């Protein structure tokens, strides 16, 4: 039984990382219909930015978070301005374009920084565990869970309580009409893309103490994040959060009952069945189509 609780906690920590990554992906897709295949590379950029800040400026992972967010958001903003913006009328081409961008980013890091994995030290004050009976929870993972809740809250406030959020929701509902009301959809898009990229960057920073920092690290993560977005319902904030939880927990529990490899297969099969019966995800957003 202890194992199950520990595993539920592990699932929660996986879910919270997935959530941060998927949130950016979902917002970008929900707003502008761009399927951003370079999202995993934004995670990777975030990890490398953290590494650079730690090695060259001596900043800890947590202190680096806001800087990493800004840096990756800036990179996302530039990419949106230079490439993605030209493709809004051709949504399918964005898949190819962002895939290409992803490869370019990967190779740029490989050429510029090197292919070998980089070492990032975790925060000292978050080392150690909280133990409640047989339940062992690592402080760092607890922090990651708390931080992802914070991110969800901030994103929710941004979407529902700010002028930008209102404009954003208007653009999501109907771009043409919102433009008639004087909303600059282009500007909204740029900021949204940058914000989504920045979230991915944060996820990248948060996983550096646990995973290895290599140019290809984003590829696997983005696949999971896509699953979350699909299961959650495209563009739905609540759906993304619920799906991240669900996939994280189910993956964790399956892997302890069967094993990691078969657990993953089982989760994929489950998702396929779910999509068969709820093709628009768990919580489809009620936009007019």
Partner 1 sequence: MRRRDFLGRAGAAGTMGLAGGLSMPALLSGARRAYAAEDDIPVGLLFSLTGAVAVVEHTLHDAALMAIEEINAAGGVHGKQLRPIIEDPASDPATYADRARRLMIRDKCVSVFGSYTSSSRQAVLPIAEQRNNLYWYPTLYEGRECSRNIMYGGALANQQQDILLPWLVENFGKKFYMIGNNYVYPKEENNYCRILLEQLGGEVVHEEYVPMGHSDFSSVINRIRAEEPDVIFTTLVGDSDVAFARQYHAAELDPEKMPVCSLTRSEVEVKAIGGEAAAGHFSSAPYFMGHQSAENETFVENYKARFGADEVTHFVSEAAYFQVYQFKAALDKLDPANISPTAIRDAAVGMTMMAPQGEILIDENLHTHLWPKVGQWQSDGQAKVILQSDERISPKPYAAYPGQDCTGEGLVKT
Task: State the residues that interact with partner 1 by CB under 8 A.
Answer: 2-3, 6-7, 10, 13-14, 115-119, 121-122, 127-129, 136, 138, 140-141, 209-212, 214, 216-217, 220, 252, 255-256, 259-261, 263
Rg, Å, the chain Cα set: 19
Q: What is the largest CA-CA distance in the chain?
A: 61
For the bound state, the minimum distance from the C-beta of residue 113 to partner 1, rounded and expressed in Å, comes to: 12
For the bound state, the minimum distance from the C-beta of residue 249 to partner 1, rounded and expressed in Å, comes to: 12
Nearest CB to partner 1, comparing residues 8 and 166:
8
Q: Which residue has the tokens 């760092």?
A: 140
For the bound state, the minimum distance from the C-beta of residue 239 to partner 1, rounded and expressed in Å, comes to: 23
Q: Say if CB 194 and CB 74 are below 8 A apart.
A: yes
Rounded distance, CA 144 to CA 12, Å?
Answer: 10
Nearest CB to partner 1, comparing residues 92 and 265:
265
End-to-end CA distance of the chain: give it in Å, rounded: 47
Rounded distance, CA 15 to CA 225, Å?
Answer: 10
For the bound state, the minimum distance from the C-beta of residue 233 to partner 1, rounded and expressed in Å, comes to: 25
For the bound state, the minimum distance from the C-beta of residue 132 to partner 1, rounded and expressed in Å, comes to: 14
Nearest CB to partner 1, comparing residues 7 and 240:
7
CA nearest neighbour of 189 among 71, 29, 22, 37: 29
> Quick one: 77 exposed, middle or buried, by C-beta within 10 A (0-12, 13-18, 19+)?
middle
Q: Say if CB 143 and CB 17 are below 8 A apart.
A: no
Nearest CB to partner 1, comparing residues 119 and 150:
119
Rounded distance, CA 5 to CA 16, Å?
Answer: 17
Nearest CB to partner 1, comparing residues 3 and 157:
3
For the bound state, the minimum distance from the C-beta of residue 69 to partner 1, rounded and expressed in Å, comes to: 23
Rounded distance, CA 27 to CA 39, Å?
Answer: 12
Nearest CB to partner 1, comparing residues 217 and 231:
217
Nearest CB to partner 1, comparing residues 102 and 233:
102
Bridge partners of 129, per DSSP, are 138
The DSSP H or E segment spanning 129 is strand 129-132
For the bound state, the minimum distance from the C-beta of residue 188 to partner 1, rounded and expressed in Å, comes to: 35
């Amino acid at each position: 039984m202890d194992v199950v609780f520990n595993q539920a906690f592990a699932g929660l920590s996986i879910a919270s990382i997935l959530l941060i990554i998927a949130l950016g992906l979902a917002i970008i897709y929900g707003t502008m219909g761009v399927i951003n295949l370079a999202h995993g590379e934004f995670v990777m950029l975030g990890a490398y930015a953290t590494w650079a800040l730690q090695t060259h400026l001596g900043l800890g992972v947590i202190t680096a978070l806001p800087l990493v967010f800004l840096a990756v958001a800036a990179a996302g903003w530039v990419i949106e301005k230079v490439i993605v913006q030209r493709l809004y009328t051709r949504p399918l081409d964005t898949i190819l374009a962002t895939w290409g961008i992803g490869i370019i980013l990967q190779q740029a890091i490989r050429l510029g920084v090197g292919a070998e994995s980089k070492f990032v030290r975790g925060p000292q004050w978050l080392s150690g565990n909280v133990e409640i009976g047989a339940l062992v929870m690592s402080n760092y993972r607890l922090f990651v869970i708390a931080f992802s809740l914070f991110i969800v809250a901030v994103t929710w406030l941004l979407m529902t309580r700010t002028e930008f959020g209102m404009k954003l929701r208007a653009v999501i509902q109907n771009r043409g009409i919102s433009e008639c009301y004087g909303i600059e959809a282009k500007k909204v898009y740029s900021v949204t893309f940058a914000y989504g990229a920045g979230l991915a960057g944060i996820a990248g920073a948060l996983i550096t103490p646990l995973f290895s920092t290599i140019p290809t690290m984003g590829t696997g993560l983005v696949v999971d994040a896509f699953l979350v977005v699909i299961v959650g319902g495209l563009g739905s904030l609540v759906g993304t959060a619920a799906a991240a939880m669900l996939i994280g927990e189910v993956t964790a529990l399956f892997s302890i009952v069967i094993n990691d490899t078969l657990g993953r297969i089982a989760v994929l099969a489950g998702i396929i069945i779910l999509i068969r019966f709820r093709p628009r995800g768990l919580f489809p957003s009620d936009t007019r189509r």
